């Protein structure tokens, strides 16, 4: 596989990507009522070396969680609306994760989702859940 | 978001219809404007973004509300498009065939009405997903397995009606369906099979009842809205052992299929085993750009590298053994000995596949009815998210499989797409499900994908292969290929349609069946 040895071109490309990742993160944060977001989970795809460093640039990214291309566990954890209240999921991953999250929540009116393609493989995305209203 | 009215319906009638729907379900369950974004086709392949745009959506909470909505739709002539969970993604998702149709969203009808552990069945409403039913069975501790298709978030009822398949021995979902409740387009409610007998206690046990067997008529059709359905569930077997067999050469497909046929027909292979192509398996763990940044067919050197990196073959069988350990041991001996005749065949059990995200791990769940979304990983191969399924059916014969494979592969390469497929083995037939990946944001790529898809439909039909299921945009094309005896089957469909739906309000264009009102001027 490719991926070994970082070139000047990669560094320049990464600069552009970081800017894009920061932009999406900052915009999502600005639009979210801060009081509602009490917990943030940040994901990255360990198969892509860039993904980890880019995920670190997302707002309030602390501990990073590795996730490959399989969205099964992530989506399954979102079933309980009470548990997801005030939660932000964000990350830099391949497209499967944001695509499935977007499809999963597409009828929910109390969530905000954003996604942006960074390069051929990676997407920066964020998903904010509002407070729980029974 | 602009509103597109259904063909032949004026603004006043449409507004009156929405008002009538609101009276039935309440304001909060009639959707218009921005709230319709969830009903768009996420993979629309055609250039016209409005080709399958809904004008509104209405979400009833009961069969009675479905009946009332159908009656109102008849009164105002407003067409409805029923969807269950709306997750039929590669075939159009929750979008209607005809622009302006109102989506009849059955997601709120999500009750699991009954599960019988003793008799092995469930009775469900349309909004019950595989995740819902699986979680319910787990919570109750029933010793039952359900059968799931690859994405587990779809509707149990909807998947069976669309002729979906899964991977346990109960993999033919429509065959495992037993008993329906259906709201006819004019609003009457009927129960099929033994359900027509008042106080019947065998509605989910005996499919046929008395008289003509009608259940199939409500699958892939627009003859009624199924509001309840029975589905048989498999008793948890005393043992389970998933396996994978890889084959190294392209041309091995012919021999593999010929070995498979008697094993499947003779029930030595117990489940709906699949043969998956190299790139479809590889795409679960890798992306194309990790191997090349060049367009065009991948050279043999790269294909060999992918095989080595992931320890997979050019073709890969995923299957499972079920039953007491001595039975599984015996079946495995026959299966292993049979495929050992293919030079270079490699055999694996789950414990042999240690790599994180190895496809066998996901398949091991799927083949015992645990819902997942793992298969979506393959869309990362080229990025862009779009994919549609091209799904011709053939006999389980090696020569037929090779013929289909080379036909489709060559066309896809000619148009700049990679070949990724599953050969799914049914009781007597081979489903060749080809995943056509495209960037849903790139109009030029979408245009190519549409062109090659239509071409493959025509070429497959000329060779005697018909598709079993298709995307909204190609329903008319596929229906036209089933044209024996001057389209006698379509004429029968139309006769039934006109009889059960005289105003033509239910799902115009579904499976190429148009009501009389749109037959001459169909969109």
A28 has a pLDDT exceeding 60: no
What is the residue-averaged pLDDT of chain B?
A: 95
B190 Cβ neighbours under 8 A, 6+ residues apart: B181, B182, B184, B196, B224
CB contact (8 A) between residue A120 and residue B356? no
DSSP labels for B19-83?
Answer: HHHHHHH-GGGEE-GGGGGGGS-TT--SS-TTTT--SEEE--SSHHHHHHHHHHHHHHT--EEEE
Q: What is the pLDDT of residue A134?
A: 54
Of the residues B31, B121, B170, B468, only one is catalytic, namely B468
Residues of chain A contacting B135 with CB distance shorter than 8 Å: 79
**φ, ψ for residue B365 (rounded to 5)?**
-70, -50
A8 has a pLDDT exceeding 60: no
Residues of chain A contacting B131 with CB distance shorter than 8 Å: 76, 79
Greater confidence (A107 vs B355) lies with B355
Q: Hey, where are the domains in chain A?
A: 8-129
| pLDDT band at B126; cut points 50, 70, 90 | very high
Q: What is the pLDDT of residue B439?
A: 87
Rounded average pLDDT over B57-79: 98
Catalytic, B468? Answer: yes
Domain B1-108+482-523 CATH (choose: 3.40.640.10, 2.40.50.140, 3.30.43.10, 3.40.50.720)? 3.30.43.10
Rounded average pLDDT over B108-132: 97
Fold type of domain B112-235: 3.30.465
Rounded average pLDDT over B199-211: 97
Q: Hey, where are the domains in chain B?
A: 1-108+482-523, 112-235, 240-472
Residues of chain A contacting B373 with CB distance shorter than 8 Å: 70-72, 75, 96, 100
Question: Worst-scoring range by mean pLDDT, A23-37, B87-101, B174-188, B461-475?
Answer: A23-37
Catalytic, B208? Answer: no
B504 has a pLDDT exceeding 60: yes
Q: How far apart are alpha carbons B436 and B419 in whole angstroms?
A: 8
Q: How far apart are alpha carbons B183 and A131 in whole angstroms?
A: 38
Greater confidence (B414 vs A28) lies with B414
Q: How far apart are alpha carbons B296 and B292 in whole angstroms?
A: 10
Mutate to test the interface with A, among B132, B298, B310, B376 (most CBs of A within 10 A): B376
Fold type of domain B240-472: Vanillyl-alcohol Oxidase; Chain A, domain 3 (3.40.462)
Rounded average pLDDT over B141-160: 95
Q: What is the pLDDT of residue A24?
A: 59
């Amino acid at each position: 596989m490719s991926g070994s040895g970082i070139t000047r071109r990669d560094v320049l490309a990464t600069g552009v990507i970081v800017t894009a990742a920061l932009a999406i993160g900052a915009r999502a944060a600005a639009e979210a009522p801060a009081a509602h977001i009490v917990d943030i989970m940040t994901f990255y795809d360990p198969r892509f070396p860039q993904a980890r460093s880019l995920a670190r640039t997302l707002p309030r990214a602390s501990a990073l969680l590795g996730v490959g291309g399989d969205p099964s566990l992530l989506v399954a954890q979102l079933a309980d609306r009470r548990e997801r209240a005030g939660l932000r999921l964000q990350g830099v991953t391949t497209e499967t994760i944001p695509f499935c999250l977007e499809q999963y929540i597409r009828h929910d009116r109390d969530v905000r989702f954003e996604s942006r393609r960074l390069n051929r493989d990676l997407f920066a995305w964020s998903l904010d859940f509002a407070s729980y209203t029974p | 978001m602009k509103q597109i009215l259904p063909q032949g319906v004026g603004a006043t009638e449409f507004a009156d219809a929405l008002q009538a729907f609101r009276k039935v379900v309440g304001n909060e369950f009639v959707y218009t404007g921005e709230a319709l974004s969830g009903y768009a086709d996420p993979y629309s392949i055609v250039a016209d973004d409005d080709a399958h745009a809904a004008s509104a959506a209405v979400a009833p909470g009961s069969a009675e509300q479905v009946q009332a909505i159908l009656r109102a739709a008849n009164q105002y002539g407003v067409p409805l498009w029923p969807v269950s969970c709306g997750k039929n993604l590669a075939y159009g998702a929750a979008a209607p065939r005809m622009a302006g149709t109102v989506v009849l969203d059955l997601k709120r009808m999500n009750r699991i009405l009954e599960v019988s552990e003793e008799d092995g069945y469930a009775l469900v409403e349309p909004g019950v997903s595989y995740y819902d039913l699986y979680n319910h069975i787990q919570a109750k501790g029933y010793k039952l397995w359900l059968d799931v298709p690859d994405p587990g978030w779809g509707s149990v009822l909807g998947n069976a009606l669309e002729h979906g398949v899964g991977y346990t021995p109960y993999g033919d979902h429509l065959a495992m369906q037993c008993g329906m409740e259906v709201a006819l387009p004019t609003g009457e409610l009927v129960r099929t099979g033994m359900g027509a007998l008042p106080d019947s206690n065998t509605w989910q046990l005996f499919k046929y009842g008395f008289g003509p067997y009608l259940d199939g008529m409500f699958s892939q059709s627009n003859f009624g809205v199924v509001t309840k359905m029975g589905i048989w569930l498999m008793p948890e077997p005393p043992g389970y052992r998933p396996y994978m067999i890889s084959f190294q050469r392209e041309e091995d497909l012919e021999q593999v299929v010929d070995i498979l046929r008697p094993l499947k027909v003779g029930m030595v292979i117990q489940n709906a085993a699949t043969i998956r192509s190299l790139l479809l398996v590889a795409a679960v763990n890798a992306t194309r750009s990790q191997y090349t940044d060049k367009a065009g067919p991948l050279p043999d050197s790269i294909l060999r590298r992918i095989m080595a990196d992931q320890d997979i073959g050019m073709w890969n069988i995923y299957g499972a053994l079920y039953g007491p350990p001595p039975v599984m041991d015996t079946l495995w001996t026959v299966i292993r000995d049979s495929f050992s005749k293919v030079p270079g065949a490699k055999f694996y059990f789950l414990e042999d596949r240690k790599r994180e995200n190895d496809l066998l791990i996901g398949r091991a769940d799927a083949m015992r009815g645990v819902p997942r979304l793992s298969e979506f990983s393959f869309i990362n191969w080229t990025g862009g998210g779009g994919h549609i399924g091209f799904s011709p059916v053939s006999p389980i014969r090696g020569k037929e499989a090779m013929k289909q494979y080379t036909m489709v592969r060559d066309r896809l390469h000619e148009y700049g797409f990679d070949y990724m497929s599953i050969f799914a083995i049914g009781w007597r037939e081979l489903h060749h499900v080809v995943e056509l990946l495209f960037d849903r944001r790139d109009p030029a790529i979408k245009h190519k994908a549409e062109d090659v898809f239509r071409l493959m439909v025509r070429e497959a039909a000329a060779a005697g292969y018909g598709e079993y299921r298709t995307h909204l945009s190609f329903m008319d094309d596929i229906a036209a290929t089933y044209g024996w005896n001057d389209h006698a089957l379509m004429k029968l469909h139309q006769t039934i349609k006109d009889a059960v739906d005289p105003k033509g309000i239910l799902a115009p264009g579904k499976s190429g069946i148009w009501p009389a009102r749109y037959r001459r001027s169909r969109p």
